[in-house]
């Protein structure tokens, strides 16, 4: 899989599949792991997703400061949703 080879878009897409249980068993921890890999490579959509996860306590402990950090990183790259 491209996600296994480090492709951030694929990591984020697969991560969201784990979040929603689309084609795989729902696993929020795996979602956060994969999205974190993509976000740490600078993929803005994954950074935005992590912001949402931390804001809502989805798969991680709720942490508004961490949410804001991820939203800022996404916004700095032009993510209009952040």
User: Which string of b and e fits 34-58 if b means at least 16 CB within 10 Å?
Assistant: bbbbbbeeebbbbbbbbbbbbbeee
Residue 82, pLDDT score:
72
Q: Which parts of 1-82 fold into alpha helices (H)? A: 8-20, 28-39, 44-56, 64-76
**HSE (side-chain half, CA atoms, 13 Å) at 27:** 12
Q: What is the mean pLDDT of residues 31-53?
A: 96
Q: Quick one: pLDDT at residue 65?
A: 98
Rounded Cα gap, residues 47 and 40, in angstroms: 8
pLDDT > 90? residue 74: yes
Compute the distance between CA of residue 82 and CA of residue 67 in angstroms, rounded to an integer.
10
> What is the pTM assigned to this prediction?
0.91
């Amino acid at each position: 899989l491209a996600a296994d080879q480090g492709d951030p878009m694929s990591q984020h897409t697969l991560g969201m599949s784990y979040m929603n249980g689309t084609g795989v068993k729902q696993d929020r921890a795996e979602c956060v792991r994969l999205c974190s890999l993509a976000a740490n490579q600078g993929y803005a959509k994954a950074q935005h997703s992590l912001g949402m996860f931390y804001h809502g306590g989805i798969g991680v402990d709720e942490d508004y400061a961490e949410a804001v950090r991820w939203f800022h990183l996404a916004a700095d790259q032009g993510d209009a949703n952040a």
